[in-house]
A and B are shown apart, each in its own frame.
Chain A
Amino acid sequence: MLPAGFEYVRAATPEEALAALAAHGSDARVLAGGQSLIPAMRFRLAQPAVLVDIGGVGALAYLREDGGFLHVGAMVRDATLERSPLLAKYSLLADCSSVVADPVVRHMGTIVGSLCHNDPAGDWATAALASRAQVVVRGASGERTVDIDEFIVDAFTTAVQDGEMAIEAKFPIPGPRTAGAYEKLERKVGDFATACAAVAVSLGDDGVCTSAGVAIGAVGTTALRVAKAEATLVGQRLTDDVIASAAAEASALADPVGDLRGSVAYKKDMARVLVARALHRALARLEGARA
């Protein structure tokens, strides 16, 4: 399949990109990694009149820690993050980065691009929710930082307005005794998730959970924060029963569509199974670190 024609603007700087977006409004789409947009264009499901290519904007390819956050610039590729030594303490993000799409696509796809695309089965949105990430959005009226819960609006819809662009995603640097895990059930590499789960938990010295992030993906119109699971975990030791209770909340919240990947009943149960597995794995990492 071949895309329809479009006008092409190559930006060298973020300012150039924003100027082009402001000029063309809803006619323009940002081209970052292109690994979601170009396939949509090949099927002519997307037919943007203008593409603003930010692939060459080196100024957006930064990956650094400061001010308590890991800053992932808009042009950081999945594979770059996957191989970064910085990822050693971000167990959730490390797990996630190794199962996004496939190894070749990861060399072009970007984390921020995935968050902006906001596919209901998106891995990064699920991981971002559990991590309590934020997205920095810039436009003509200035720059704002949006909590991921507000950034995710609906399927394929985010808080980014016409004329604006997401500049970076920020992930809080994990505190001591924090670990996470990402579980993805897919029919084969490269498939969208049948269900996925992301968790991040912190324990006090006494082994009691002090904070928890739990999110599920591919089982709703967007990735979902399982607030009740988080509430179940905080203030408790992470025993098998506590984990099972928290996981059951994921099942209850999940609202999947039955399709070729699985029935509604199956996907709901997988939300539970994956949250439980992710929590057990995060716990094992914490116990392993302590040993």
Chain B
Amino acid sequence: MKISVTVNGQVYERDVEPRTLLAYFLREDCGLTGTHVGCDSSSCGCCVVALDGDVPVKSCTMFAVSADGHEVTTVEGLAKGGVLHPIQQAFWDQHGLQCGYCTPGMMMTIYTMLQQYPHPSEQQIREFLSGNLCRCTGYQNIVKAVQQAAETLAASPAQEEVPA
């Protein structure tokens, strides 16, 4: 089936089987391997992307055909013009990653979270992240990264690209 999905501002027109999961569409049909697959049961969140700007979605639990005509933002779409997004910078500054496998999904969940809750408490952060698993960090530095990102964004919101 022919579909057209806009990913990080670029239109991808592809012919896919309906059963193709969005995660594999992004990785293999669009060549964007930043989105990862870590489990079979929609438990781990390594595959989270943002749908239509602010909706976090586990891309392993969505068919690519359902994303036809929609916009998807992946980790590759966070940095603009070579400048890291405050979330990315915060993960680096706060040692919020070790193996890096959960990191893209974590950051995309946070990207949508901070749009809904720009000033989250630690409890809110831990609640919103509870659909994303990490085995390396114990979450503590990830929480610090979110707090730093929230502060940076509140001080000067990142410039979003205006869709064409």
- Show the binding face of A for B, using Cβ within 8 Å: 1-8, 10, 31, 34-35, 38-39, 41-43, 51, 53, 55, 83, 101-105, 107-108, 189-190
Contact = CB atoms under 8 A, between A and B. Distances in A.
B65 interface: yes
Interface size for chain B: under 10, 10 to 19, 20 to 34, or 35 or more residues? 20 to 34
Interface in B25-40: 40
Contact of A104 (B1, B17, B132): B132
B66 A104 contact: no
A105 B62 contact: no
B19 A3 contact: yes
Contacts, number: 86
A2 B19 contact: yes
Given A4-B19, A108-B62, A103 B1 contact: no
Interface of B: 1, 17-19, 21, 40-43, 45, 48, 55-58, 60-63, 65-66, 68, 109, 112, 116, 127-132
A256 B131 CA distance: 27
Contacts of A104: 45, 48, 56-58, 109, 131-132
Give the most central of B17, B42, B65, B112: most A CB within 10 Å. Answer: B42
Contacts of A108: 55, 57-58, 61-62
A105 B18 contact: no
A102 B131 contact: yes
Contacts of B19: 2-6, 41
Contact of B40 (A1, A7, A83): A1
Given A104-B109, A105-B42, 5 more contacts: A2-B19, A34-B66, A38-B42, A103-B129, A190-B130
Nearest to B113: A103
Contacts of B40: 1, 39, 42-43
Given A105-B58, A108-B57, A189 B65 contact: no
Contacts of B109: 103-104
7 contacts: A8-B18, A34-B62, A39-B41, A42-B60, A103-B129, A104-B48, A104-B57
A6 B112 CA distance: 32
Contacts of B128: 103
